């Protein structure tokens, strides 16, 4: 019974700290498979459920592991404008300039993703199937989070501009309401000559989009004061943003959420493909010989929950801190 309660509380804990919503993260990893060249695609397709389901694992760890949270974002506006364009790409150089504590305080997603990328190259080189799957799912998550504009700013939930709640509104509710109409047919995966520079380009593009994310919501809140909230049917003591307001905001963003999701799919495929190429394009035929059954998937999930309990149950009490980050 104690174990059951712990599992329930860990899952509740997890549900308070989404990046992109769980829906979007799983979908991005799954769609990225379609962009891969044939040999790689055959391998990933054999494990598409695993790569998709595990796309949310980094968020499940988020408030349970010290330093996991800052791996999902970088607050570029905490750096002076003259510095934020040119932060050291090399982690050691960055530490020398700013110190580890300061870097983690501001978020480390570009540096951490590259460290995970190097792990993925190693996993491919060793043809370690479990590691390839685990790390592919993880890196898909971090790359996707880096595409979310509010993962690039200190004002990550509109808390500094009286717009609290905008984080999950943009990255969870909008894709859940309108994602069915998005076009997820993206081009083929391309090899990245410089994955590190690509990660920095991704977070810079996210940062440029912050202004419209916040200003459009503020304009509509002023224009539609009585139409923004309604009682939440699942929890009448709480409110939710109305579909009418959501649609007006979504229209005003003019495809921004869809564009960032499409870019996430493209980049996840690019990074998987590049890691495989950098590992020397190892043959993967033997690795994809078995496909996990639903029972095996369930067993893997149970094992994952057990692992969470064994590893982090003692820390869980101190983890009910922030919602998205910090």
- Report the interface residues with Zn ion, using CB under 5 A: 19, 59, 72, 145
Q: For residues 145 and 258, which CB has a smaller minimum distance to Zn ion in the complex?
A: 145
Cα–Cα distance, 272 to 32 (Å, whole number): 9
Paired tokens of 24? 């979007």
* CA pair distance 179, 230, nearest whole angstrom: 22
Nearer to Zn ion, 138 or 145 (CB): 145
DSSP H or E segment with residue 241 = strand 235-241
How is 64-77 classified by DSSP, letter by letter? TSTTTGGGG---GG
- Taking the complex as a whole, the smallest distance from the CB of residue 59 to Zn ion amounts, in Å, to 5
What SS3 state is found at 236?
strand
CA-based angle 203:204:208, to the nearest 5?
Answer: 115
Element containing residue 231 per DSSP (H, E)? strand 229-232
Nearer to Zn ion by Cβ, of 46 and 152: the residue is: 152
With respect to Zn ion, which residue has the nearer C-beta, 45 or 159? 159
Provide the minimum distance between the beta carbon of 205 and Zn ion in the complex, in angstroms, as a whole number. 18
Q: Is the Cβ of residue 171 or residue 278 nearer to Zn ion in the bound state?
A: 171
**Residue 145 or 278: which CB sits closer to Zn ion?**
145
CB of 71 to Zn ion, least distance (A): 8
Q: Shortest Cβ distance from residue 154 to Zn ion (Å)? A: 17
How far is 108 from 67, CA to CA, in rounded Å?
10
Contact 194, 200 (CB under 8 A): no
264: nearest Cα among 168, 162, 179:
179
Q: Which phi and psi angles does 299 have, rounded to 5°?
A: -65, -40
> Between residues 39 and 154, which has the closer beta carbon with respect to Zn ion?
154
Q: Which residue is nearest to Zn ion (CB)?
A: 19
Q: How far is the CB of 116 from Zn ion (least distance, A)?
A: 13
Q: How far is CA 314 from CA 8, 65, 319, in A?
A: 15, 11, 10
């Amino acid at each position: 019974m104690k174990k059951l309660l712990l599992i329930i509380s860990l899952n509740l804990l997890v549900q308070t700290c989404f990046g992109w919503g769980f829906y979007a993260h799983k979908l991005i990893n799954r769609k990225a498979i379609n962009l891969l060249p044939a040999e790689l695609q055959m391998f990933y397709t054999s494990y598409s459920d695993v790569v998709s389901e595990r796309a949310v694992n980094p968020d499940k760890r988020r408030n349970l592991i010290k330093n996991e949270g800052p791996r999902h974002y970088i607050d570029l506006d905490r750096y002076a404008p003259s510095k934020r364009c040119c932060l050291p790409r090399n982690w050691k150089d960055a530490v020398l300039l700013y110190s580890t504590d300061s870097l983690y305080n501001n978020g480390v997603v570009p540096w951490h993703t590259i460290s995970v990328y190097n792990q993925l190259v190693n996993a491919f080189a060793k043809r370690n199937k479990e590691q390839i799957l685990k790390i592919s799912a993880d890196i898909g998550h971090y790359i996707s989070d880096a595409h979310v504009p509010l993962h690039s700013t200190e004002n990550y939930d509109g808390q500094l501009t009286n717009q609290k709640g905008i984080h999950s509104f943009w990255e969870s509710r909008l894709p859940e309401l309108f994602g069915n109409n998005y076009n997820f047919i993206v081009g083929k995966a391309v090899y990245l000559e410089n994955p590190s520079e690509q990660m920095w380009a991704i977070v810079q593009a996210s940062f440029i989009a912050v202004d419209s994310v916040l200003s459009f919501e503020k304009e509509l809140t002023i224009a539609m004061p009585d139409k923004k909230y309604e009682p939440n049917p699942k929890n009448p003591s709480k409110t939710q943003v109305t579909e009418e307001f959501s649609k007006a905001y979504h229209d005003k963003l003019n495809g921004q959420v869809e564009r960032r999701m499409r870019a996430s799919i493209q980049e996840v495929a690019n990074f998987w493909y590049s890691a495989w190429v950098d590992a020397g394009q190892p043959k993967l035929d033997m690795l994809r010989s078995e496909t996990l059954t639903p029972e095996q998937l369930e067993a893997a999930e149970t094992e994952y929950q057990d692992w969470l309990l064994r590893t982090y149950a003692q820390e869980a009490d101190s983890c009910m801190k922030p919602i998205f980050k910090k």
